[in-house]
Amino acid sequence: MQRYILERVSTESENFHMNPLKKIYCRIFQNVFKFALPFLPYRNPEIISSLKAVPDVLKKKKCKNVLIITDAGIHKLGLTDCLEKVLTDSNIPYILYDKTVANPTTVNVAEALELYHKNNCQAIIGFGGGSSMDCAKAVGARVAKPHQSLAKMKGILKVHKKLPLLIAVPTTAGTGSETTLAAVIVDAETRHKYAINDFPLIPRYAVLDPKVTLSLPPFITATTGMDALTHAVEAYIGNSTTPGTRKNARDAVQLIFENLDTAYTDGSNKEARRNMLRASYFAGCAFTKSYVGYVHAVAHSLGGQYNVPHGLANAVLLPYVLEAYGKTIYKKLAALAIAAGVASKETPEEEAALNFIQAVKDMKARFGIGDTIPEIQEEDIPKLSHYADKEANPLYPVPVLMDAQELEKFYYMLIPAKENTVQ
């Protein structure tokens, strides 16, 4: 059975067959966005290098009560202690919500929103990984639009209104959520994962303080770092890049290949941690404007259905999707291979591209990241591929277009062999 699936996958990857009219629609949609890029109100958050500077920002903005949104693990590790201390020392009242789960749900948002209103808060601090920051953005959106559900805000440009002051404090170097206009939320009832995308969701400030990342476990360091790598790669190989996003993506790739192994093996190395935060920030700036691709679409469906950590899903999927795109991305991968230090300008284009894909696989192996997602149930695949198709098409300017049927192959690739063995 496993052999049959792999043979089928190999054949299908060479024969993309999205409906021609759907292809035309997708490309027209993407080109409209590409041409509109220079005129859209993108902005980068103002960078704060230390938590100690946060009270000054709050006082400057005349925000007296603050809601901190984080998760239980981060709270228990004491990572919020420094922030809580500087707020207390500055006589700034705060309330802390620490029930955010990986792949935050509509229930998380509702609970945090209730705390915000109950305590008359005027600012929100998202403290943690992408989940905490996404939850913070969604709470801000609900504050701005109290009479509209999150479900009605999903998609593009549905928020419109200015959010309360939003400060993002990433404790992982990977999500790039501190730079993005997106919040990804899971419907608590249906388990469907969807994104809310609008410019007001971009945090006003991003606190890039390496001290809050020092206690991050090695495996989380690895998967979140590869999450940032996926952001940079998908932004770079897509069809809606700009000179600025291409530079951001190359810089991110270079920083990741130069620093992730050190951060993984020596978590107390502040320089490596600082550089990984910078890499995540650059990758976030890149994909905020140039978008991501099918790696993310498939990963989001897995996160929504099975709670698979987003960075882990991205890391597992990335080589599969790059190989499926084939020669269409060799030129761009060759440029990334040079940035990563696994090829030179003299290396033939195809060789450099394949070197890059192999370097990603080798990185996964060094970090103990496997090639499968054991949680996947074969009967779920049609539903999951439908979600991925709906998320990606027509929005994501991918190098090769695929519909739901074509995306199914990636899910089959992720099923462990033993689950497909005929007894």
Tens-digit pLDDT profile for residues 119-139: 999 999 999 988 999 999 999
Find where tokens 């030129």 sit.
331
Residue 283, Cβ density class (10 Å: 0-12 exposed, 13-18 middle, ≥19 buried):
buried
> Which segments of the chain belong to CATH 1.20.1090.10?
2-38+218-420
DSSP 17-55: ---HHHHHHHHHHHHHHHHHGGGS---PPEEES-GGGHH
Architecture of the structural domain at 46-213 = 3-Layer(aba) Sandwich (3.40)
Find where tokens 């206690």 sit.
215
Tabulate helix, strand, coil % of the chain (nearest 5).
60, 10, 30
Whether 141 and 197 have beta carbons less than 8 Å apart is answered as no
Distances from the Cα of 108 to the Cαs of 111, 164, 197, 266, in angstroms? 5, 18, 19, 34
DSSP type of residue 153: G
Give the Cα separation of 279 and 13 in Å (integer).
31
Amino acid sitting at position 80: T
Q: Which CATH class is domain 2-38+218-420?
A: mainly alpha
Whether 273 and 214 have beta carbons less than 8 Å apart is answered as yes
Give the Cα separation of 320 and 338 in Å (integer).
21
Contacts of residue 69, Cβ cutoff 8 Å, sequence gap at least 6: 97, 100, 112, 124, 125, 126, 127, 128, 132, 135, 136, 139
Three-state secondary structure call for residue 352: helix
Quote the strand ranges of 187-278, DSSP E: 193-197, 205-207
Cα torsion 22, 304, 196, 208: sign: negative
Whole-model pTM? 0.88
DSSP 49-60: S-GGGHHHHHHH
Tokens of 84: 């809580």
Containing 166, the helix (H) or strand (E) segment is: strand 165-170
Give the Cα separation of 199 and 153 in Å (integer).
13
Containing 321, the helix (H) or strand (E) segment is: helix 310-325
What pLDDT is attached to residue 16?
A: 54
Three-state secondary structure call for residue 95: strand
Containing 124, the helix (H) or strand (E) segment is: strand 123-128
Tokens of 410: 């990636």
Distances from the Cα of 176 to the Cαs of 13, 210, 418, in angstroms? 30, 15, 36
Residues facing residue 193 across a β-bridge: 186
Residue 107, Cβ density class (10 Å: 0-12 exposed, 13-18 middle, ≥19 buried):
middle
Q: Is the peptide bond before 397 cis (omega within 30 degrees of 0)?
A: no
In this prediction, the residues of the chain whose per-residue pLDDT falls under 70 are 1-16, 418-423
Three-state secondary structure call for residue 182: strand
Tokens of 138: 């969604």
Residue 395 phi, psi dihedral angles, 5° rounding: -65, -45
DSSP type of residue 243: H
Find where tokens 């609008």 sit.
198
What pLDDT is attached to residue 3?
A: 39
Distances from the Cα of 376 to the Cαs of 271, 405, 411, 415, in angstroms? 38, 17, 8, 6
What pLDDT is attached to residue 18?
A: 87
> Which segments of the chain belong to CATH 3.40.50.1970?
46-213
Q: How many CB atoms lie within 10 A of CB 273?
A: 25
Give the Cα separation of 423 and 417 in Å (integer).
12
Q: How many CB atoms lie within 10 A of CB 22?
A: 14
In angstroms, how far is the first alpha carbon of the chain from the final one? 10
Give the Cα separation of 182 and 104 in Å (integer).
13
Pairing between β-strand 182-186 and β-strand 193-197 as defined by DSSP bridges? antiparallel
What pLDDT is attached to residue 195?
A: 87
